[in-house]
Structure formats: structure tokens, C-alpha cells
């Protein structure tokens, strides 16, 4: 059976989508944890623990969702849009 070779653009697309899942979702996880620790109606210590403890599970969930994107450009665009939204919530909204 002959193995099917992927073309160079297809390999690049797959690599860029994987890079978006690994690197592009990290700001989403960190900023998501910061939003949780900032706006959760808990004590300060509990909010810190909540945001810190949920950063890794948020990163894993975001990576799984980023792999579902049809193209690498769409994966990067969604990562950037969510990161901007979470940054605006974290740093722009007064407490």
C-alpha cells in the first residue's frame, strides 16, 4: 500500500494549527484564570487559588478547542480575539 504524502502547504497548515493550539491558547488560559480570580465572589485567598488552580485545565480545554478549527488562520484569529476580550475584562473593567 502506498503511503499518501501531504503537500508542503498542508504540512505547514497542520504545524501552524498545532502551534496555535500550544502557544496561542496560553494567554487565554492565563487571562481566564486572572478573570476568575478577579471577579469570583470569594475571599481574596480563595480567588487566588481558584484562578491559579484552573489555569492549566483552561489551557488544556482551549488547546482541545483550537484543534477543532478548520484552518490555522481561524485558530489564530479566535485565540487573538478571546485573548483581547479577556485582557479587556482583566485590565479594563474596574473592580
pLDDT tops 80 at residue 4: no
- Per domain, the residue ranges of the chain are 10-92
Contact assessment for residue 34 and residue 51, using Cβ atoms and an 8 Å cutoff: yes
The 3-class SS string of 34-51 reads HHHHHHCCCCHHHHHHHH
Write out pLDDT tens, residues 48-89: 999 999 999 999 999 999 989 889 999 999 999 999 999 999
- The model's pTM: 0.83
| Residue 2: pLDDT band with limits 50, 70, 90 | low
Res 74: pLDDT: 93
Q: Is 5 helix (H, G, I), strand (E, B) or coil?
A: coil
Amino acid at each position: 500500500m502506498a503511503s499518501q504524502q501531504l503537500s508542503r502547504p498542508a504540512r505547514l497548515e497542520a504545524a501552524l494549527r498545532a502551534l496555535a493550539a500550544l502557544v496561542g491558547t496560553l494567554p487565554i488560559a492565563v487571562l481566564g484564570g486572572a478573570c476568575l480570580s478577579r471577579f469570583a465572589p470569594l475571599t481574596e485567598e480563595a480567588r487566588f487559588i481558584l484562578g491559579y488552580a484552573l489555569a492549566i485545565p483552561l489551557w488544556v480545554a482551549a488547546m482541545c478547542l483550537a484543534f477543532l478549527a478548520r484552518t490555522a488562520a481561524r485558530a489564530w484569529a479566535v485565540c487573538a480575539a478571546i485573548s483581547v476580550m479577556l485582557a479587556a475584562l482583566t485590565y479594563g473593567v474596574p473592580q
